[in-house]
Amino acid sequence: MRSFPTVLKAGVLSMLSLSLSLSAAMADQPAKQAFGAVTLPSAGTPTPIGSYAKGCISGAVALPDDGPHWQAMRLSRNRHWGMPQTVSLLKKLSEDAVALGWGNGILVGDMSQARGGPMAFGHASHQVGLDVDVWFTPMPEKRLTPEQRETIPFTSMLDKSKFLTVDGRKFTSTAARLVMTAASYPQVERIFVNPAIKKKLCESWTGDRTNLGKVRPMYGHDEHFHIRLTCPPGLASCKPQAAVAAGDGCDKSLAWWFTDEPWAKPKKDPNAPPPKPPRPVMVSDLPKACAALLEAPANRNAVAGTRPQGAPASAPASALAPMAGDDMPDLPDSVPSPRAKP
């Protein structure tokens, strides 16, 4: 028979365990809400944690709002944070863009939030500081005002009067060279573009096709191209994805996008009950280190660029509208959810 002290001790431990479990449950919250509320990165060494679509970033660095050959867009989103490798790549791409004749450089869209993680709108990935969107709009000669950076519309490369057809007046040979230049960088793992853009590259690219396989077709992505960097070598905290299949990608996997299957609406059972709303991704669904990261001290010396006076403190309604295709899962090489035909 167990002694009273032993029973009492077991009871206390059980109550303590239950209390800790309840505390953890109460502290858990939707990850989009939690990471979207943090405006500054944590201190420490820049480190991606988890996978591109399920992770966070410690010690993120900022892309300055203005550089010699780039301008950051949609400043009010506070999404120009990432790994140092991502910032360095953008600086190089901006210089190469000018050499190619792409205006005065590049316009940079969303990177990651200050501590990464899921976003309130716009992306399924961009969570570990290794993803960035570059607009299919050259940087203008004149510096854009803060208001212009929020309101200037995106430019689609498609002829919207036809199904999955590139507008050759917009997707020029220079635009093609810009995409392929980015794909040539060894640290780039994938580049996501609209299937029509991938098809156009397959048909017209006459240069070295070694890196054409990195360019992957995806829903949307007709107004920007999405660059994804590889996980830093030897960093166990960063979860890589499967390597891109061999070849240029101008095969059956591309032809599939031009069939009805990717665009077919799911069949509905008229007698089925209304579907339940999807469960939100919680902080507890991310790697354990991400929950601790939310409570980590901020790097208060971090500055999100050289923001001009008068930059909006909050996003206007126009800035809250996601880019076309940004609500699509930026997950590579899997069959995404069906979408309506463009």
Per-residue model confidence as pLDDT tens digits over 32-61 = 999 999 999 999 999 999 999 999 999 999
Domain for residue 221, yes or no? yes
Q: What angle do CA 70, 72, 77 make, to 5 degrees?
A: 170
In this predicted structure, what is the pLDDT of residue 339? Answer: 53
Q: What residue type is assigned to position 39 of the chain?
A: T
- Residues 170-196 have pLDDT tens digits of 999 999 999 999 999 999 999 999 999
| Close Cβ partners of 186 (under 8 Å, ≥ 6 residues apart) | none
User: Cα 308 vs. chain centroid, distance in angstroms?
Assistant: 25
Contact 187, 85 (CB under 8 A): yes
Residue 276 lies inside a defined structural domain of this protein: no
What order of strands is seen across the sheet that includes strand 224-229?
66-67, 70-72, 106-108, 131-138, 224-229, 188-193, 215-217
Distance from C-alpha of 215 to C-alpha of 3, rounded to nearest angstrom: 69
Residue pLDDT, tens place only, 119-177: 999 899 999 999 999 999 999 999 999 999 999 999 999 999 999 999 999 999 999 99
Q: State how far the Cα of 127 lies from the Cα of 55, in Å rounded to an integer.
A: 6
Which residue in this structure is represented by tokens 């993120």? 60
From the centroid of its chain, how far is CA 299? Answer: 23
Q: Name the residue type at position 180.
A: M
Distance CA 227, CA 246 (A): 19
How many percent of the chain have pLDDT more than 70? 80
Closest CA to 294 of 84, 37, 52, 61: 37
Q: How many CB atoms lie within 10 A of CB 233?
A: 7
250-261 mean pLDDT: 96
| 186-210: average pLDDT | 97
Tell me the C-alpha to C-alpha distance, in Å, between residue 322 and each of 22, 74, 240, 308, 315: 36, 11, 26, 24, 12
* Spatial separation of the C-alpha atoms in residues 115 and 341, rounded to whole Å: 35
- Which residues fall within 8 angstroms of residue 99, CB to CB, at 6 or more apart? none
Query: Which H helix or E strand runs over 47?
Result: strand 47-51
pTM of the model: 0.84
Q: Give the H or E element holding residue 149.
A: helix 146-151
Q: For residue 195, what is the domain's CATH number?
A: 3.30.1380.10
Report which secondary-structure segment, H or E, holds 99: helix 84-100
Asked if residue 14 is part of any domain, the answer here is no
Q: Give the pLDDT band (50/70/90) at residue 325.
A: very low
Q: How many residues does the chain have?
A: 342
Residue 21 in domain: no
Give the structural domain span for 199.
28-260+288-305
Domain-located, residue 15: no
> In terms of pLDDT, which residue wins out, 61 or 272?
61
255 occurs within a structural domain: yes
| Residue 293 identity (one-letter amino acid) | L
CA torsion sign, 305 to 302 to 323 to 210?
A: positive
Q: At what angle do helices 84-100 and 173-184 cross, to 10 degrees?
A: 150
User: Is 270 inside any structural domain?
Assistant: no
| Number of structural domains the chain divides into | 1
Residue 318 is assigned to a structural domain of this protein:
no
